[in-house]
Structure 1
Amino acid sequence: MATQHLVLVTGANGHLGYNLVQLLLQKGIPVRASVRNLRHKSALNNLNCEIVQADITDKASLIKALEGVDTFYAVGAAFKLWAKNPQKEIYEVNLKGTQNMLEAAAIAKVKRIVYVSSVAALNYNQIPTKESYGYNPDRRDMYYNSKNDGEKLAFELAKHYNIELVAVLPSAMIGSEIPGPLSVSYNIVDLILKKQIPIETKITLNWIDVKDVAEACILAATKGKSGERYIIANEKSISLRESTQIAQRLFPALNIKLPIAVPKSLLLLFAYLLEMGSKISGKAPLLSVKDIAMFSGLKQDFDISKARTELGFNPKKPQLALEEAMQHLYTRNQV
């Protein structure tokens, strides 16, 4: 039996990172798991992996973490859609982080990188969306900009340093264990269960089980073609209204109401007032004017034939992924 080479997973205490570490270990692959702050490693303590400190904004820490590593799963990033200073807290962190990761990998002589991008880096001008349609021309959101520009930079630097790099572009990850605070996507499911989405927004989401994304990352490492990008999602998106209907069916005792349709002008006013409140509280608004402008009515439907054919990617149906995520969150909320 061939000896398995050491891999590094950054952001290992996050939703995807944690599930990826678990799956790699189940497959007998030795894992070095990095976290930004060792005070936040408790979820990893029961896993048979090496735990180290590394921050994507600190190249020296990445060089040290990548010593002796064959395959690098670049999971760690600033994943948030709102910040007081989005240019500095989201865009610059992710762009500088990408540069640091690639330069550190070159110094450590890493052979292959699986770069976790996002469906945010896709061009939605044609539906269903394909990888070949290019990058997102909509520049209104700093997180989306960071994923577009970060992925392009990753490919450029990988070519410059002669490192094999495959990009995976997941959609809204939900399900399974989440070691820390809820992710952006998972938080939306939680808001449905807590009856905190009262108004119809006509926003749809492409739900994907995080374990399917973790499996796709490993498939990308072994089967993905260097220089290629793969959409890791389901074919069809589900509206928040349809998602709420699933919650109603699963938990009738919660008496969850369907969101009420209102004129778009009223919806924008509601979002504006929430944003004003966020400037005072410092907390992300439940809804922003930009969310309505960018996502209301946008169909996040994808052609995933490339990932199916080249990687063997076969995701769980979105309705099932959502049902399981809701069951998991419901149980978590009862504890």
Structure 2
Amino acid sequence: MSLKGDVCVVTGACGFLGEHLVRLMLTEENLEEIRLLDRNIRTELVQELQGKYSETRVTVFEGDIRDADLLRRACQGASLVFHTASLIDVLGKVEYSELHGVNVKGTQMLLEACIQENVSSFVYTSSIEVAGPNPRGDPIVNGDEQTPYSACLKFAYSRTKKEAEELCLRSQGERLRDGARLATCALRPMYIFGAGCRFTVGHMRDGIRNGNVLLRASPRRALVNPVYVGNVAHAHLQAARALRDPQRRSKVGGNMYYVADDTPPISYSDFNHAVLAPLGFGIQEKPSVPFPVLYFLCFLMEMMQTLLRPFLQFAPPLNRQLLTMLGTPFSFSYQKAKRDFGYTPKYTWEEARKTTTDWLAVMLAKERAKKRKAE
């Protein structure tokens, strides 16, 4: 079903996924209006979108996701919300109260605004880290939504995303102020890559400092299935179409779906090499420090972080849970999304890799220009 004529709100609209989702909707749908809700609006992006897609009105709502008045104004007259905004933190740099406030309280307030303003469809961007891996590093290979798993989530980020996802799914069927019912679903993408991914750029910078050799943080056996940002955006659009379709609304509503694509299973470190190798980067055969030693060092750094917390905000560059995540085989299938709302990847692995590498080439040129200027 088309979203033609709909008014849509995208939270985190200027973020990595949000921008790709907005661009995809402007290309594929003839919406009446897309409302960009973000704490940090990028003026140049808004001007480009407003100038390029004149048939759809693009409006801006700048502010905090915890601002109830802002949320009510953004949702007034809208029929669909994509909630992609969240704080991401796997190093312990952000206070738990801030993570909870944005990821959980912000989601709750947005759902309340939807109910008050009669927004009938809500698509929530969850995370693979809601699934795990657990601190034991128990693997999952090609799992699905029914795969049993004992997950004890260590990251505060993971816990807040899980709580927000549960809020979203529990809101399925809530009665709106006009008497209609709210339909919700949650999408759990794998590790998202593509143009705009700051994590890939960070690994590239580490590689530059290491003489154009990427650091190995994960063993080759720790296979995961990263997903291209364009395919994640496409899955969001397909899920929204299903929620807006009276024939499929009850089937998709209230459900969680994993979002992957046909990127070959690969470790996180070897994935970084796959997209950066064409730019002249190598990769370490083995990590500089053996994983058991690195695990012990992470333990010591975490103890130091705990001891210093009353006096100093210290975040280690690596921790045990992050090391476990990097070293655990953890992959999932997208077949349920395919069955329920027709999701199939829009972009092949070859297309996704080329687009990502081309963007990284531009970023690499900028890094080298900055280095020359500094010298």
Q: Deviation at 1:319?
A: 6.6
- Residues 248 and 64 of structure 1, relative CA distance in 2, 3 Å threshold: closer
| Equivalent residue, structure 1, for 2:36 | 33
Which secondary structure state, in structure 1, belongs to the residue aligned with residue 153 of structure 2? coil
- Residues 250 and 84 of structure 1, relative CA distance in 2, 3 Å threshold: closer
Point out the more displaced range, 115-124 or 145-154.
Answer: 115-124
Answer yes or no: is the 8 Å Cα contact 2:91–2:318 preserved in 1.
no
Answer yes or no: is the 8 Å Cα contact 2:132–2:153 preserved in 1.
no
| Equivalent residue, structure 2, for 1:47 | 49
- Residues 190 and 204 of structure 1, relative CA distance in 2, 3 Å threshold: farther
Answer yes or no: is the 8 Å Cα contact 2:75–2:119 preserved in 1.
yes
What letter matches 1:163 in structure 2?
A: L
Distance 1:108 1:42 in 2: 30
Identical aligned residues as a percent: 23
Q: Map of 1:193-232 to 2, 5 A cutoff?
A: 195=210, 197-202=214-219, 204-223=223-242, 225-232=252-259
Which secondary structure state, in structure 1, belongs to the residue aligned with residue 143 of structure 2? coil
- Residues 259 and 140 of structure 1, relative CA distance in 2, 3 Å threshold: same
Q: Does 1:267 align with 2:294?
A: yes
Q: Deviation at 1:153?
A: 1.3
Distance 1:281 1:323 in 2: 43
Query: Any unmatched runs of 5+ in structure 1?
Result: none
Distance 1:189 1:248 in 2: 8
| Equivalent residue, structure 1, for 2:126 | 117
Q: Deviation at 1:205?
A: 4.3
Q: Deviation at 1:214?
A: 0.8
Point out the more displaced range, 200-209 or 299-308.
Answer: 200-209
Provide the TM-score with structure 1 as the length reference. 0.84
Q: Map of 1:88-103 to 2, 5 A cutoff?
A: 88-103=97-112
Provide the TM-score with structure 2 as the length reference. 0.76
Answer yes or no: is the 8 Å Cα contact 1:207–1:318 preserved in 2.
no
- Residues 110 and 286 of structure 1, relative CA distance in 2, 3 Å threshold: same
Superimposed CA distance per residue, residues 157-212 of structure 1 (whole angstroms, 9 cap, x where no aligned partner) = 34334310011111111113x3xxx5446644664566475344335543211111
Distance 2:292 2:173 in 1: 48
Q: Map of 1:161-310 to 2, 5 A cutoff?
A: 161=175, 162-176=181-195, 178=196, 182-184=197-199, 187-188=202-203, 191=206, 195=210, 197-202=214-219, 204-223=223-242, 225-234=252-261, 237-247=265-275, 249-252=277-280, 254-260=281-287, 262-271=289-298, 285-292=316-323, 294-310=324-340
Q: Deviation at 1:134?
A: 6.8
Answer yes or no: is the 8 Å Cα contact 1:198–1:258 preserved in 2.
no
Q: Deviation at 1:286?
A: 3.7
Q: Which has the larger radius of gyration?
A: 2
Distance 2:20 2:10 in 1: 11
Tell me the number of residue pairs that the alignment of Structure 1 and Structure 2 aligns.
328
Q: Map of 1:56-75 to 2, 5 A cutoff?
A: 56-75=65-84
Distance 2:314 2:148 in 1: 33
Point out the more displaced range, 239-248 or 159-168.
Answer: 239-248
Distance 2:314 2:47 in 1: 30
Distance 1:20 1:127 in 2: 28
1:148 paired residue among 148, 162, 181: 162
Q: Deviation at 1:53?
A: 1.7
Q: Cα RMSD over matched residues?
A: 3.2
| Equivalent residue, structure 1, for 2:53 | none
Which secondary structure state, in structure 1, belongs to the residue aligned with residue 187 of structure 2? strand
Answer yes or no: is the 8 Å Cα contact 1:67–1:108 preserved in 2.
yes
Query: Any unmatched runs of 5+ in structure 2?
Result: 51-57, 176-180, 244-251, 367-375
| Equivalent residue, structure 2, for 1:24 | 25
| Equivalent residue, structure 1, for 2:11 | 10
Superimposed CA distance per residue, residues 203-247 of structure 1 (whole angstroms, 9 cap, x where no aligned partner) = 554321111111111100012511111111136531134225425
